[in-house]
Structure 1
Amino acid sequence: MELSIQLPKNFKEQTVRELLEQEWLVPRKVRHFLRTRKNVAINGEPALFHFPVKSGDVITLLFEPEDYPTPAILLGNKSIIDVLFEDEHLIILNKPIGMKTHPNQPDEKDTLLNHLAAYLAPKNQVPYVVHRLDKETSGAILFAKNPFVLPILGRLLESKKIYRRYQAVVSGNLVESLTIRKKIGRDRHDRRKRVIDERRGDVAVTHIEVESYLKKTNQTTVYCVLETGRTHQIRVHLASIGHPIFGDPLYHPNSIGRLMLHAYELHLTHPFTGEIITAIAEPSLW
C-alpha cells in the first residue's frame, strides 16, 4: 500500500518523526519498518526521520503487506450502498434501517460492512469500522478506507471532533431542550439492553434540542447531539426521562412501527486536507 498526502496550508512545521508519531498515530512497529526500509519520501525524494516537513509538502509512505494485514470480510451486495461522501481515505454512507453495522459472526454477510466491502473490492480497498449505528437506526455513518487513517479518525471521535446530529420522535410533550448526563451500563437481566447505572456505568452525555410538539399524536420531534458514544445512548437517555423514542422495541415496546431515530447529520474536518466535510442523510424523519 502506497499513500501520498499533501500537508494542508495551516500545517505546523515539524519533523517526519513527529508527523508519523503524533499527528498520524502510526504504530511504533510500523514506524520502525518505514525508517529501516527507507519507505518515506518528501516531494518524491527519500527522507530520514529528522527531516523537516512543512505546509504544501507531499509525504509518500510505502507499506508492506505485513505492516497492515488485510481483514477477511465476506462480500455482500454493493448495490445497497448509498454514498454521502467519499475520497481515497474515508467514506460516509446512508445506512438503511434494519441493517447491522458489522457482522458479529464470521459467516455473516448481510451487514453494512459486508456490502461496503463489495463496493470497495473493485478498488482493492477494504473498509474499517470507525463507529456504529444500532440495527434499527438509519442515517449517516463513517468508515475508514484504509488501516492508516483508522486510528486518526478514532482519535477525532474520542476528542469530540466528529459532530453527529440525530433526529428522533419521542412520546409525550417534551417541553424544553436539555442535556442528559447519566451513566449507562449493561442490564444484568437482559443482555440486549442498557440501563442507567450511576455507580458502575460509563459516562454518557446527550444534548436534546426540542423541534416541535405534535399535539394530535402526543409526540415531540427532537434533535440529539452526542458528546459520548455509548451503546443505545440516545434511546436509554430519552427513556430515562419518560420520553422513549417511538417505535423502540426495547425501551418503548408498546409502540409500533420503525424506530424513529435517524443519524441526520455528520461532519468533521478531514485529517489530511483540512476540508470541512458535511454529510446530510436524506430523507429525514420529518
Structure 2
Amino acid sequence: MIIRRIFESDDFVLIDKLAGVLTTPSRFEEEDIRLCLGTALQAEMKQQIYPVHRLDFEVSGLVMFAKNAEAHRQSNAWFENKLVQKTYRALTTPQDFSHIPANISNPRITFEPKANETLHWKSQLLRGKKRTYESPQGKPSLTLAAFLGTTKDFLLWDLQPVTGRPHQLRYELSRHGFPIVGDALYGSKVPFGENKIALRSYKIDFSKAPSAKAFGLPPAVEIEAEF
C-alpha cells in the first residue's frame, strides 16, 4: 500500500488516505481482507500509533494519527470540544428525491442552491447496522454546507461537520436530495469507481485548539480537494 504522509511532527502524522482503504481494523479483523491504513502505517513506522479520528472506507483524504498517548489524549479533547474543524469536498447529482422510498418520512423540500450561501442542516442521527438514519432517539447533528457551483452535470459542495456523527455528511446530502456520486448506500445512481465515493476530506484547521502549536501543528493542514 502506498502511504502518502502529508505532515509529521514528533507527536502526530497526517496521511492522505486512499478511498477503498480502512482507517483502522474492522471488528472482524481476522476475516476482513481489506487494506487497513492504520495497520500498514504502524508497521512502516515500527511504533505504536493512535487514531485520532476516522474516515469511512469509501472516503479519501486527511486522517490523523497520534504517535504517543499524551498527544492522543489532547487531540481527542480538541475534537470532542469542537476546537478542530474538518472540511470536505463532495460531488453530487442535482436535487432529486426519487431515491427516498415513499414510506420514509422526508419533507422533500425543493430549493435551488446558491453560491456563497452556507446552509445549516440539523438532524437527530442514529447509526444502524449499515447506515445512519434520523430518529427522536438520535444524537444532535449539525452540518455546514456551502454550494460551490456546477461542473458538467454535477454539483460541488464544501461541507463542515460541526458534530462528528457516523455517515453524517452522506446522510445529510442524501436527505436533501443530493446523494454523493457513487454512494449507492445513500441513493446514488451514478457509479464512481470500485469502493469509492465522491467525498474527500481536504482540510483540518487547528487554529482554535489552544495547545496545537505546542505539539508542533500548523494552523491548518490542507491538500488538493480534487477527486
**Number of the residue aligned with 1:112:** 37
**Number of the residue aligned with 1:282:** 224
Q: Secondary structure at the match of 2:177?
A: coil
Matches within 5 A, 1:180-199: 180-187=121-128, 191-197=129-135, 199=136
Matches within 5 A, 1:148-167: 148-167=70-89
Q: Moved runs in structure 1, 4+ residues, more than 6 A?
A: none
TM-score by length of structure 1 reads: 0.65
Equivalent residue for 1:179, pick from 120, 139, 143: 120
Q: Does 1:103 align with 2:25?
A: yes
Q: Secondary structure at the match of 1:182?
A: strand
Give the number of aligned pairs. 198
How far residue 95 of structure 1 moved from its aligned partner, in angstroms, is: 0.3
**Number of the residue aligned with 1:272:** 214
TM-score by length of structure 2 reads: 0.81
Q: Does 1:230 align with 2:165?
A: yes
Q: Which has the higher contact order (CA 8 A, sep 6+)?
A: 2
Opposite residue 126 of structure 2, the aligned amino acid is G
In 2, Cα distance between equivalents of 1:148 and 1:210: 38
2:180 and 2:188 in contact (8 A); partners too: no
In 2, Cα distance between equivalents of 1:184 and 1:93: 28
Gaps of 5+ in 2: 96-111
1:81 and 1:119 in contact (8 A); partners too: no
1:152 and 1:271 in contact (8 A); partners too: no
In 2, Cα distance between equivalents of 1:158 and 1:131: 11
Q: Secondary structure at the match of 2:7?
A: strand
**Number of the residue aligned with 1:209:** 146
Max radius of gyration: which structure?
Answer: 1
In 1, Cα distance between equivalents of 2:8 and 2:75: 14
How far residue 283 of structure 1 moved from its aligned partner, in angstroms, is: 5.6
1:246 and 1:252 in contact (8 A); partners too: no
Equivalent residue for 1:133, pick from 50, 55, 59: 55
Give identity over the alignment, percent: 26
How far residue 249 of structure 1 moved from its aligned partner, in angstroms, is: 2.2
